[in-house]
Structure 1
Amino acid sequence: MNNRLLALSVAAVAVSFTTAYGAGTYSSGAGAAVARATVSPAPEVTPTEETPTGTASPETSPTATASESASPVGPGCAALPTSGPGSPAELANEPVGTALSHVPTLSTLATAAQKAGVVQTLNSAEDITVFAPSNDAFNKIPKNQLDKILADRQALSTILAYHVVKGRKTPTDLEKGSFTTLQGGTITTSRSGQTFKVNDATVVCGGLRTRNATVYIIDTVLKPTAGTASPTSSPTSSPTSSPTSSPTSSPTPS
């Protein structure tokens, strides 16, 4: 009888440790050590419980999230090359003045920047936002007027300076914003649903990042408002030395 009672007691102790394993109460403390030493299933169960904890971090990596949030958005982004020159990955490693020349839909703007002599000054600027008129935007201007603008370095510099503001602006910044441009005038931005407006222009591809700037491709060339760029804010030398009346006396986009 005594032997049977002893056998039942040992069996009861074994069952209690097994139950504790299943309930997860072995995870720390002396009880866990005893359970691992006493119950044979321990080597099989312990890795199952502990291993996922060490492997969960790659699935929640903040790097992947940041990369996704930095991707350009908008219907016009589909026209960007998916790889090589002009692709978002390549543009991110280039200064903005150089990057503009590699985006197929911005070839007219790239030519304008060269004619105005501002490519290197754009490349050397730090943390700016460029509202970049697409080729279609320039095509809205009558050809004879556009030719005059492209031939007038002073007017061209003033117009381009009006498309640049300090700081890298995010889509959130553009939801309801008012910004002083490097030309000295002001632009206003707004959002309606998924559409962003810059004055009267619509953003067709936004948040395109280069090494030193964030670019928003727009469908209309902006008309400069009255303003005088200061030497400390303008990346170009031409607008800073020109009189305020320059945009008025020179051709401007219609």
Structure 2
Amino acid sequence: MIRKNALTATAAAAVLAFGLSACGGMEGDTEAETPAAGGAEESPATEENEGSGGMQEAGENFGPGCADVPADGDGSFEGMAQDPVATAASNNPLLSTLVTAVSEADLVDTLNSAEDITVFAPSNDAFEKIPQEDLDALLADQEQLTEVLTYHVVEGRHAPADLEEGTFTSLQGGDVTTAGSGEDYTVDDDSAVVCGNVQTSNATVYIVDTVLMPS
């Protein structure tokens, strides 16, 4: 069963307000290259990387899950790069359960208006690992759902190299840890990145295969 967390809705809202206090609105759309062979696409040439204090180098999407991303249209890598993160996720068929959860938690506008964030986005398969009864209970509990979802978001647009031995403070307030190298990364030890370095207009996204749970 998913453990109820003692954090109140007011506290969760305060965490969001603090974590996004620097967000003044959306920046201009990020231009995307034409997807490379095999469904991978080069990221924009340079992006502001607040988390590492410098410019993020260009890189390609990686991971076995990238093959399931649409080759064209709004849900493709190129299409997602044009939209803020919640909108971009809504166009990607791999993330439909996450989109439902974000809507239930009333976080669409919060995520779309944030600037320079990294999102560890659970795939549909990740949510399927949760027993249906527990998932239904989570989706029905806005307080707990908000806490779980904001744990998946950290400030700064982080390149894959930042994830090699990373510790990031989430908007929920807990620390998210990452490890790995090359095209093989884990988040909080047991969640694997299945498609990484996906760009939206305001976020870098790493699609993961397990829903992260704050302590």
TM-score bin, normalised by smaller chain: 0.7 to 0.9
**Corresponding residue for residue 208 of structure 1:** 198
1:183 aligns with 2:172: yes
Question: After the TM superposition, which residues 112-127 of structure 1 pair with which residues of structure 2 at under 5 Å, given as runs?
Answer: 112-127=101-116
**Corresponding residue for residue 151 of structure 2:** 162
- 1:97 Cα deviation from its structure 2 partner: 1.1
1:171 aligns with 2:150: no
| Partner residue of 2:208 out of 210, 213, 218 | 218
Deviation per CA, 1:33-81: give whole Å up to 9, x if none. xxxxxxxxxxxxxxxxxxxxxxxxxxxxxx9993993431111101001
SS at match of 1:165: strand
Identity %: 57
Structure of greater Rg: 1
Checking the alignment, whether the CA contact within 8 Å between 2:94 and 2:123 is kept in structure 1 is yes
Q: Which has the higher contact order (CA 8 A, sep 6+)?
A: 2
When you count strand as a share of all residues, which structure comes out higher? 2
Amino acid of the structure 2 residue aligned with 1:81: P
**Corresponding residue for residue 51 of structure 2:** none
When you count helix as a share of all residues, which structure comes out higher? 1
**Corresponding residue for residue 10 of structure 2:** none
Distance 2:59 2:106 in 1: 30
Normalising by structure 1, we get a TM-score of: 0.61
Checking the alignment, whether the CA contact within 8 Å between 2:138 and 2:144 is kept in structure 1 is yes
Checking the alignment, whether the CA contact within 8 Å between 2:43 and 2:61 is kept in structure 1 is no
Q: 1:134 to 1:80 in 2, by over 3 A?
A: same
**Corresponding residue for residue 45 of structure 2:** 66
**Corresponding residue for residue 97 of structure 2:** 108
Checking the alignment, whether the CA contact within 8 Å between 2:43 and 2:199 is kept in structure 1 is no
Deviation per CA, 1:88-111: give whole Å up to 9, x if none. 111101000111111101000000
- 1:192 Cα deviation from its structure 2 partner: 4.9
Amino acid of the structure 2 residue aligned with 1:208: V
Distance 2:43 2:181 in 1: 28
Deviation per CA, 1:150-172: give whole Å up to 9, x if none. 01111100000000000001000
SS at match of 2:166: strand
Of 148-157 and 185-194, deviating more is 185-194
Q: Which segments of structure 1 move beyond 6 Å, counting only runs of 4 or more?
A: none
SS at match of 1:71: coil
1:132 aligns with 2:121: yes
Distance 2:45 2:126 in 1: 31
Distance 1:178 1:84 in 2: 34
Q: 1:142 to 1:64 in 2, by over 3 A?
A: closer
Checking the alignment, whether the CA contact within 8 Å between 2:43 and 2:60 is kept in structure 1 is no
What RMSD over aligned residues (CA atoms) do the two structures have, in Å?
Answer: 1.9
Q: 1:108 to 1:173 in 2, by over 3 A?
A: same
Checking the alignment, whether the CA contact within 8 Å between 2:43 and 2:59 is kept in structure 1 is no
- Structure 1, unaligned stretches of length 5 or more? 1-62, 226-254
- Structure 2, unaligned stretches of length 5 or more? 1-41, 47-56
SS at match of 2:126: helix
